[in-house]
A and B are shown apart, each in its own frame.
Chain A
Amino acid sequence: MKRQAARCVGLLVLLVAVGVFGCKKEAPAPAPTPPSEPAAAPAGPEAAPVEGSPGKALAEEQEVIIWWAQWDPSDGLQNVGNEFEKRTGIAVHVHQIPWPSYQDQVTMNFGGKQTNFDIVIGDSQWLGWGATKEFYVDLTNWLKENVDVSAIHPLSLRYLCEYPTGSGNYFAAPCEIDATGFTYRKDWFEDPEEQAAFAAEYGRPLTIPDTWEELRDLAEFFNRPDEKRYGCVLLTGRGYDSLIMGFQQIMWAYGGDWGNRETYEVDGYLNSAGSAEALAFMKELLGFAPPGATNFDWSKCLEAFNNGSTAMQMNYFTFYPSICRVMGDKVGFFIMPRKGERRFASLGGQGFSISKKIPEARQERAKKFIAWFLSEEGQQLWIRQEAGFTSNVALLKSEAFKVATPYNPAFAESLDHLKDFWNIPVYGELMTTAVKRIAEAIDGECSPQEALDTLTAEHEAILRDGGFLK
């Protein structure tokens, strides 16, 4: 009995010792990820170069790890990265993360002592958070010295890279530039019978809309639920920022705004008559949408348009190549309509931000890649990728770019009307409350004015709590 007890305890101690010391033992540095496996688990920060360890440093010299969402542009970036490797010997690994968990993974990764990526391609709204929490490297001087900033479209530079907006401080460099636009059923619009019927009903020819009112008429005209045909789909998803992206460009066109970007005042902007009118107008437009379209993110909008049931679709330009593949020459494109002289498009796309939580040598390699990507050579390669949209002004203006795809002219024009949501650190709270209240108005739970009054009070509280509003 005595011996048995001693054996049991001995075994127990051994097990605990193996567990404790086994865990404590430093894990060997992972081997560099082969270039042919970009989606493989990224080499962690523990693989950072060790001073006086030339073997490791040499291996490290050859890679830049980028985290981005899982979609077509990431594949394109990997292709461009492969070309970069051919020229420099530095491998670029684009680690793709599914959209629903992308933000969570990036946020939590920044919580560690070192990040598992060198570059994160983040949303414009993350800028203030990344900059003030000291997660993003300040690229202000580097960008001015190593990249031709004048070649970048000023609005994409302003909203995608700058924090605070208008300060001239850059925490990102442009990667995928995007905007919202509209796709339409060209074959329906060009049908002589439809044209005659529209002219008879509305007293003007059936053409792509220039104003929001014209778009409303077109949506009403094509809305035929009995034939399973609908007027339009708009970005209204409530999971992240879809509803905001869909609503804000109408709000800006109607004279409303999220607030004053300098003083952070919200009252009188967000709950202005223009904002309320815009929300009521959006609700009216959704009356010409398919059933359930009051909660459509970009993927649902794509689905509704690609299945052939909808005349017009609001969505990001990034998805237009795939729409062309499905719809062929049945699809056409136009920019966001205007209201009076005001025309705005929501900013899409993401910028390169370098993690501050990596060794300086890795930061330098990341900068090297970004500088090359933004060079003319890199941008020429980029625009040849599926959904590779550029912010290079010269390329945007070039005839070759405009004739390359049917949607490029609309894209180039849209960049002149870009505007964005708040990008301050409390953007998450501002966004979730905005989605909730705007959705309530769209669902008919309260009037647009009531929803915006409530939202104004909530945004004021958040901005005050965050130290932005006195």
Chain B
Amino acid sequence: MGKSRFLKYGFVAPVLVVLIALNVFPLCYNVVLGFSNAELSGGPWQFVGARNYARIFSQPQYVAAIRLTAVFVFCAVTAELLLGFALAMGLRGRFPARPVVLTILLVPMMLSPAVMGLYWHMILNGHYGVLNQVIALAHLPQPQWLTDPSLKLASILLIDIWMWTPFMMLIALAGLNAIPQYVYEAAAIDRARPWTVFRRITLPMCAPLLVLAVLLRTTDALKQFDLVMAITGANDSATQTLSALLYQTTFRTYKVGLGAAYACVVLVVVIALASVFVRYIDHIQQRQGKQA
């Protein structure tokens, strides 16, 4: 027993070492740096207590970035969930072109966000962009997608929704396909209406996977950086998300200590949200277990 445990730990140890070196240590070091005046160019640094956090919470740009990130996450994840679920419902049945349609729909998700950002930058360009040229053919006013302050965030949202709706669709489809057929057959015997079937069977049975998808997308959207960087740059107040502000603080003003404090705040927000979602998933699963 003792030797087998020794063997077990022996196998786990290398992974543990790598995890500590690459995840736990940087995380702890980041927390330490958050209380310092460290700079990107190195050199000695001192502890400054909670000064960085005081500065963060007193800065209007931080509040603005929090608000903007919240708006972005809410709009993007909601739209992706609704569209993804609708697409999954549409693609649930079997039809001849289904594999081709599925593959085409999944393409945006497989592309690099940075590269897509650069392509979309060209598509949305107000001067020579394809989108405005098409709009011009219809003799409609040509919006300035990349420079009009009221459209910049919408443009980034549009790209994000285009990229990540397939992800929601894929998970929703997996959830839908996992619902046993006999449940629907039983509902049909009971003469349940389609809306009742959807509300009482499809949605609840799909919910755990949908919540998981929302969790993954929310944590990812909270870190939104690549599209912002490619479309408007990190220093645009109309699109400055928390991650963009973090980048600007660390790499443009060299304030690693302040940047680390920002990172800690983002991390706490992500962990808090993830905990809420995980609890909710547990709750749903327990309820379903009881019902079963």
Contacts and interface: CB of A to CB of B under 8 A. Distances in A.
Interface of A: 1-2, 5, 8-9, 12, 15-16, 104, 107-108, 110-112, 129, 133, 135, 238-239, 290-295, 304, 426, 428-429, 431-432, 435-436, 439-440, 443-445
B248 A112 contact: no
Contacts of A444: 149
Interface SS of A by simple majority: helix
Given A133-B43, A439-B237, A428 B127 contact: no
A108 B3 contact: no
B7 interface: yes
A455 to B, nearest CB: 12
Interface SS of B by simple majority: loop
Interface stretch (B251-259, B262-270, B283-291): B251-259
B236 A111 contact: no
Given A291-B127, A294-B147, A432-B252, A110 B237 contact: no
Contact of A9 (B4, B10, B237, B252): B10
Contacts, number: 93
Contacts of B82: none
11 contacts: A5-B6, A9-B6, A12-B10, A111-B41, A238-B232, A239-B235, A291-B132, A292-B146, A295-B147, A429-B255, A440-B237
A79 B236 CA distance: 39
Contacts of A108: 40-41
Nearest to A286: B147
B96 interface: no
B209 interface: no
Contacts of A432: 235, 248, 252-253
A443 B149 contact: yes
A135 B235 CA distance: 27
A292 B42 contact: no
Given A111-B42, A291-B126, A292-B146, A12 B13 contact: yes
Interface string B29-57: 00000000001111100000000000000
Contacts of A439: 235-237
Contact of B254 (A12, A428, A435, A443): A428
- Give the interface size class of chain B: 35 or more
A301 to B, nearest CB: 12
Interface-centre pick from B43, B127, B238 (highest chain A CB count, 10 A): B127
Q: Which 10 A-B pairs have the closest CB atoms?
A: A111-B42, A291-B126, A292-B126, A428-B253, A429-B253, A443-B149, A110-B41, A5-B7, A291-B127, A239-B233
A238 B146 contact: no
A239 B255 CA distance: 18
B125 A111 contact: no
A455 B125 CA distance: 29
Contacts of B41: 107-108, 110-111, 129, 133, 135
B11 interface: yes
A107 B40 contact: yes
B142 interface: yes
B14 interface: yes
Interface string B136-175: 0000001010111100000000000000000000000000
Given A295-B147, A443-B149, A8 B237 contact: no
A245 B254 CA distance: 21
B3 A2 contact: yes
Contacts of B142: 291
A428 B252 contact: yes
Nearest to B145: A292
Interface of B: 3-4, 6-7, 10-11, 13-14, 39-43, 61, 125-127, 132, 142, 144, 146-149, 232-233, 235-238, 248, 251-255
Contacts of B235: 238-239, 432, 435-436, 439
Given A5-B3, A290-B127, A439-B236, A12 B14 contact: yes
Contacts of B251: 104, 107
Contacts of B238: 443, 445
B14 A15 contact: yes
Contact of B7 (A8, A104, A293, A443): A8
Nearest to A15: B14
B7 A9 contact: yes
A8 B6 CA distance: 11
A212 B68 CA distance: 38
Contacts of B233: 238-239, 295
Contacts of A1: 3
A1 B1 CA distance: 12
A304 B125 CA distance: 13
A152 B13 CA distance: 64
A291 B133 CA distance: 13
Contacts of A104: 251
Contacts of A443: 147-149, 238
Contacts of A129: 41, 254
A426 B253 CA distance: 7
Nearest to B7: A5
Contacts of A2: 3
A294 B248 CA distance: 20
Contacts of B144: 291-292
Contacts of B252: 428, 431-432
Given A111-B41, A295-B232, A429-B255, 19 more contacts: A5-B4, A9-B6, A9-B7, A9-B10, A16-B14, A107-B40, A107-B254, A111-B42, A238-B235, A291-B127, A295-B147, A428-B252, A428-B253, A429-B253, A439-B237, A443-B238, A445-B149, A445-B237, A445-B238
Contacts of B42: 110-112
Contacts of A5: 3-4, 6-7
Interface-centre pick from A8, A238, A426 (highest chain B CB count, 10 A): A238
A439 B236 CA distance: 8
Contacts of A436: 61, 235-237
B237 A292 contact: no
Nearest to A228: B127
A295 to B, nearest CB: 5
Contacts of B255: 429
Contacts of B6: 5, 9
Interface-centre pick from A5, A16, A110, A111 (highest chain B CB count, 10 A): A111
A292 B14 contact: no
Nearest to A13: B10
Nearest to A104: B251
A293 B232 CA distance: 13
A358 to B, nearest CB: 15
A417 to B, nearest CB: 28
A439 B234 CA distance: 13
A18 B232 CA distance: 47
A219 B126 CA distance: 20
B3 A292 contact: no
A12 B15 CA distance: 12
